[in-house]
Structure 1
Amino acid sequence: MGTTSPSASPTESESSKAGRPKIELPADLSYSFEWPKSGDQVKDAILADAEQSIKAVDLAIVNQDALDKAYLYYYEGEAAAGTQKFIQNYVDQKAGITGRYRFYAPEVAVDEDGTASFTYCEDQGRAYVKYLETNKVRRTEVSAQSYVIYHTSLKKNGEGVWEIQKIVSQSGSAKCRP
């Protein structure tokens, strides 16, 4: 662990991170990404960009900005439009998020045409809405709806970022329930 594969020099991987938005989230948000490195450089880059894209959406909610530049760095087209509406819903309700998010069961497939598909699960059982004006947290019981599956389509852009082109989610996924 901690060694660089001969096919990727440290300067290559470091420079590919240059220009990426810095995502700093409040201490009341925590994440568990249970998607270990695959050993495949392309798949691992997709996993890394997906992790940042998830945090970038949460940053937009925290910032109460449906056009926050951090998530727009990782989302394009249809996915960006849908995500903007998702974030705007929080802004309209003057709501933020708090708690713990867990992501697991990643499945990545890369096509020869430079596109990829990525499916993963999210456990929202310990994640909550927080109303900003009152600081009141809406705690919900864990139910089947707490387990969400996401299906994404990605394409690598000219800067080497795996952008999400399409995203579909389904709450209550049997595949994601323990």
Structure 2
Amino acid sequence: MARRALPTAAAFAVGTALLLTACGGGGDDSSDKIEGAGGGSDSPSASAPASADADRPDVSVPKDLELVFDFSAPSDPKQAKAVDNAANYIRALKHGIVKQDVNDPAYQYYSGAQAAQYAKTQIKEWVDGGWVPTGKDRYFKSEATELSGGKAVLVTFCRNQAKSFSKDIKGGKVHYGKESLDSYQKFSVLMSPPNGADKVWKAQKIEVQGRVKECRG
């Protein structure tokens, strides 16, 4: 994924109110399962996507692509749902890449605003390159912070893509690489709660920082 500057939680908070006004805010999602202030535990959340609602889109990926989410499950239900659906947003993005569909309904279900556009842009880069991901893609060190009086949750987490590679759709050649600082990223995802037609917590904004030493330790 593209590497972009990662703002602080305070910087995210500045634009949260305006963003929530545009996309909706408030409410909760009692049917939804489940990076850091706000509490958490050492128990990792499930690596498989939540399936509480029958109308949720498919976010499965081929067996040669392993998505690992070693996330801590916050004790606060609101934060837990935000963390879980931040993971689902990543799963949905990967699903769109595998399907080579820039308009894949999966990422649209789990995102809105800038986060949806980010997913579409990422998928298009893979489509244009003629690649799909393969290997093991690991996400860890999750934390959750409530913003705007609880109307949004900032979820941050690290990524280790050292064992994740691109594979040519035509011919199946895998482009291997060696582990380095470039393998480590930090994600910051602004999640908004269910509101109106939205049934789940959705990613509204995402920023990604590359070459993050704290994620390598």
Q: Please tell me the TM-score bracket, short chain as reference.
A: 0.7 to 0.9
Q: What TM-score do the two structures reach when normalised by structure 2?
A: 0.72
Deviating 4+ runs (over 6 angstroms): none
Structure 2: give runs of 5+ residues left out of the alignment. Answer: 1-29, 34-50
Residues 13 and 129 from structure 1, CA distance in 2 versus in 1: closer, same or farther, beyond 3 angstroms? closer
Structure 1 equivalent of residue 159 of structure 2: 122
Give per-residue Cα distances to partners, 1:81-134, cap 9 Å, x unaligned.
Answer: 122111101001111000001111111012325111111000000000011001
Q: CA RMSD in A?
A: 1.7
Tell me the distance in 1 between the aligned counterparts of 2:131 and 2:121: 14
Q: How do 1:1-178 residues align onto structure 2 when only pairs under 5 Å count?
A: 12-13=31-32, 17-18=52-53, 19-111=55-147, 112-158=149-195, 159-178=198-217
SS of the residue aligned with 1:67? coil
Q: Between the two proteins, what is the percent identity of the paired residues?
A: 28
CA distance in 2, matches of 1:13, 1:133: 39
Q: How far apart, in 2, do the equivalents of 1:86 and 1:151 lie? A: 16
Larger relative contact order, structure 1 or 2 (CA cutoff 8 Å, min sep 6): 2
Offset of residue 33 of structure 1: 1.3
What CA distance in whole angstroms lies between the structure 2 residues aligned with 1:140 and 1:113? 41
SS in 1 for 2:159: strand
- Counterpart residue type for residue 139 of structure 2: F
Q: Give the distance between the partners of 2:158 and 2:125, measured in 1 at CA.
A: 22
Aligned partner of 2:42 in structure 1 is: none
More strand by share: 1
